[in-house]
Structure formats: C-alpha cells, structure tokens
Structure 1
Amino acid sequence: MTLSQQQFLSAADHTLLAPGATRAEIEVFLAEARDLGVARVCVSPSLLPLAAAALGGIEAVTVVGFPSGAHRPEVKAAEAARAVADGAHEIDAVLNRGLARAGEWGAVEAEIRAVREACPGRVLKVILESAALSNAEIVGACRAAEAAGADFVKTSTGFDPAGGASVHAVRLMAKAVGGRLGVKASGGIRTAAAVRELWAAGATRFGVSGTAAILAGWDHPDPGASTAGPGAY
C-alpha cells in the first residue's frame, strides 16, 4: 500500500530531543508542528509541560531512561509517572541494553512492566537501540516488550554511535511482533524515500526531526537513507 502524505503526518512523531534546546527553540519547534499538521511531538521531559500547554490538539510524547537506558527500573517508572502528570500522552522508554545483551529476559520484562504500570492508559513504546543488538537480541527484546504490555517497539534513540533505523531491523521487529504491537522507526530518517522504505518494511510510526524537509521532497525522487549515524533523529 502506498503511503500518503497525510498518513505520514498521522504516523510522525515530530521530534526535538537536543539536550541544549532552549525555550525559544522549543516555541519555534511547536509552531512548526502546528503549521505542518503533525499528530504528535516528542520532546525531552523537562520541556514537556511547556509543550503540553501549547499544543492544542497535538499529542505530547516524551522519553524515559534516555538515552542510555542504564537507569534503575524504579527511576524509569518515576520518570514515566512524572511525565503523565506533566501531560504526556505517550512514553518512549529506553531498554536496558546490557540486560538484553546478557539474555536476562526476565529482568528486561520486569523493567518494562514497571514503566507500564507507572503510566496506565498511556501509549508505551520501548526503544531497543536495534543497531547495537544482534538479531536474536532484537527478537528477544520485542518478545519481552510484548509480554510486559508495551504498545510499540522502537528502533533507536538517534544518539547511539551504532546508528539509527534500518530496514533490516524494522522488518525483523515487525515479524517478531506480528502486528500485535506497533513498530516505530527513528534515528536518521531524513528523506521521503527512507520513510517509504521503512513503511514497506513494517514501520507504523516514525520519529523524525526533519519533518518539513521530508514533506518538501515527498513528490520528488530521492536516494533515501534507511540507516543513519548517531545524533540524527
């Protein structure tokens, strides 16, 4: 099925997670979100109250355990609870990659469940940092996320040296969750061609900061880049 521009806008989490973002930059970003017509924005937790107050009908997404994921489960749960209080509609929580790489799937599931219980009624996405995991680890993380009650699995933070979203990872994640969870592709998605490629692989949501540029090139052929380096949300 061909992805329309409106479908992309409905599936896009327009994102600003730069750690040095100022209040003025956030205000410009939020104005851009309203002009573009996106369904959601994703911002850092400290900026969430400002975003939630200014968005009107646009939903607010924030991150938990970001970007390393190496936080204690109770800290992630507390972050999630505070995010709900500050107006978040959706929570993107970073997986503890060390636990995944060690195959400690019970601990992975328990951590995700702690976050899930801290944000009842909110959409929960689990960030795997897929470029830094093996195929088996990606599949195991997807299974743990599903067992713990997550709503989505997500490729990347966009800040890890291993890279961002890839067609291979999205395809693997989509197969693992079998349509029971959504799949969010994020990290280095800069072109309409990359969006379409990831959509065809099974992505149902996109984390993008260059939303305007993607839309500007929507009707023009471009090379695409479904795998990207760090810091390129």
Structure 2
Amino acid sequence: MNLTQAQLAKYMDHTLLKASATADQIDAVVAEAIKYGTASVCVNPYWVPRVSKALAGFGVATCTVIGFPLGASTTETKVFETRDAIAKGADEIDMVINIGELKAGNDDVVRNDIRAVADATHEGGKLLKVIIETALLTDEEKTRASKLTVEGNADYVKTSTGFSTAGATAPDVALMRKAVGPDFGVKAAGGIHTLADAYAMIEAGATRLGVSASVAILEEAARQ
C-alpha cells in the first residue's frame, strides 16, 4: 500500500482524549489537523465548542466521545451527552457500548442503547461510530457486537477506546469487516503508532483510524 500524505490524512481522526489535556494542547492538535487535513479532531465533550469554532471553514470535522471510556452510563445519559455535544458543534459521535451487557448475552439491551444514540445523532444530521472495546471481548463477542452496531443503525464500528488493556489489531479489524460487510464503516483505534501500523489496519478493512501519533505517521508517509 502506498497512499500520499494527503490521502492517508483523510483516514485519520487526530485524537487527544487524555484527562490532563490543556487548552493549549487542544489548540495544538487542532492546528496540526488543519495543517495536514485530517478527517477530524477527536476530543472529550468539554472541548467540543472550542474545537468546533477553531475548525470552522477548514473541512475538518469535530469528533467527540460519549459514555467514555467505560460504556456503562445509562442510555438516557448517553443520549443527553450526544444531543449536548451536537448542539455545541460536534459532527461525529464515538460512543462506547455497554460491554457487560454484551458479555452477558443481553443483545437487545446493547442494540437498543446503540439505536437510541444513533437516533439522537442522526436527528442532528451527524455520524455515529460505536466502540466495542475489542480487548475485552472474545472473537464471538466481537462479531456479535459488530452486527449489533449495524442493527442499531450506526455508521461505523470502532475497535477501542485506547484506554483499556490493548488497542486495535489487524485481525480484529478483519473480523469486524467480515461481520459488517463491505459497505459499513470500520474504525481502528488504539496503538497505531507507525505508518506500517496504519497501512495494516487499512489493508484489514479499516476506513477510519483513531490516532494520536498522526503527525509522526503522516511525516513518515511523506518520506516514502
């Protein structure tokens, strides 16, 4: 695989989700996203108004996270968070599923949780990605969670928060791609640090990458 720097940038959600992130650090990530033309900047909900304002007119989306990072908020809370984030400028919503309910086999609960957030997201004309936290799941659970994401009317299924025991792997991305079919979005996130990592995820079926090391990867791409 050999993408140009600009092509690769369009796969990337340039991400800063650390609890310790300061306004200056958020602003730096925004400036990098504008410079390189990434798909989005992904931040915690508090920073959405600042990021959305700074990105206006640059063609870079504002992405935020909901029920993050554990997924165990109530559905009502996730819906409120989603509507609030959209009202304040979010273009894309990355929600975490209820992982415990998935593992217990309560698929209806998981599907309804996703659907409620999907409805709130789509009412605002925005995009929903659903984080299933692959590091905590068996292959059967990863497949089931991916299918529930489709059934819940989301737009993407996403591997990881980046805050659990491990991040994305190419085999997990391939498994998820197989589960959702060829036309559904798949986002790989967590542990993508090099150009080789990024290419491996794309080749496995990822259509979006959640990356904090975006600049290093894109600079590496420019040297190819």
Please indicate the TM-score interval, normalised by the length of the shorter structure: over 0.9
Question: Partner of 1:119 in structure 2?
Answer: 121
TM alignment of 1:134-213, pairs within 5 A? 134-161=138-165, 163-213=166-216
Moved over 3 A (4+): 1-4
Write the deviation string for residues 163-188 of structure 1: whole angstroms up to 9, x where unpaired.
00001110000000112311000001
Find the aligned partners of 2:207 and 2:130 in 1 and give their Cα distance.
14
Find the aligned partners of 2:39 and 2:204 in 1 and give their Cα distance.
22
Find the aligned partners of 1:104 and 1:220 in 2 and give their Cα distance.
48
Structure 1 counterpart SS, 2:10: helix
Write the deviation string for residues 58-110 of structure 1: whole angstroms up to 9, x where unpaired.
11000000000011111011110111101111100001110111111111000
Is 1:69 aligned with 2:82?
A: no
Residue identity matched to 1:109:
R
Residue identity matched to 1:79:
E
Question: Partner of 1:230 in structure 2?
Answer: none
Normalised to the residue count of structure 1, the TM-score between the two structures is 0.91
Residue identity matched to 1:124:
L
TM alignment of 1:207-226, pairs within 5 A? 207-218=210-221
Shift in Å, 1:220: 6.0
Question: Partner of 2:88 in structure 1?
Answer: 86
Residue identity matched to 2:221:
W
Write the deviation string for residues 27-83 of structure 1: whole angstroms up to 9, x where unpaired.
122112111221211011000000000012211000000000011111011110111
Question: Partner of 2:13 in structure 1?
Answer: 13
In structure 2, relative to structure 1, the CA distance for the partners of 1:109 and 1:61 (3 Å cut) is same
CA contact (8 A) 1:131 1:169 kept: no
CA contact (8 A) 1:3 1:199 kept: no
Normalised to the residue count of structure 2, the TM-score between the two structures is 0.95
Find the aligned partners of 1:195 and 1:127 in 2 and give their Cα distance.
18
Is 1:107 aligned with 2:109?
A: yes
Residue identity matched to 1:148:
G
Write the deviation string for residues 102-140 of structure 1: whole angstroms up to 9, x where unpaired.
111111000001101111221100001011100110111
CA contact (8 A) 2:29 2:41 kept: no
In structure 1, list runs of 5 or more residues that go unmatched. Answer: 222-233
Find the aligned partners of 1:215 and 1:117 in 2 and give their Cα distance.
35
Write the deviation string for residues 152-206 of structure 1: whole angstroms up to 9, x where unpaired.
0000000002x00001110000000112311000001000001111111101100
Find the aligned partners of 1:215 and 1:66 in 2 and give their Cα distance.
27
Structure 1 counterpart SS, 2:95: strand
In structure 2, list runs of 5 or more residues that go unmatched. Answer: none
Judging by fraction of residues, say which structure has more helix.
Answer: 2
CA contact (8 A) 2:156 2:185 kept: yes
Find the aligned partners of 1:32 and 1:4 in 2 and give their Cα distance.
17
Shift in Å, 1:2: 4.2
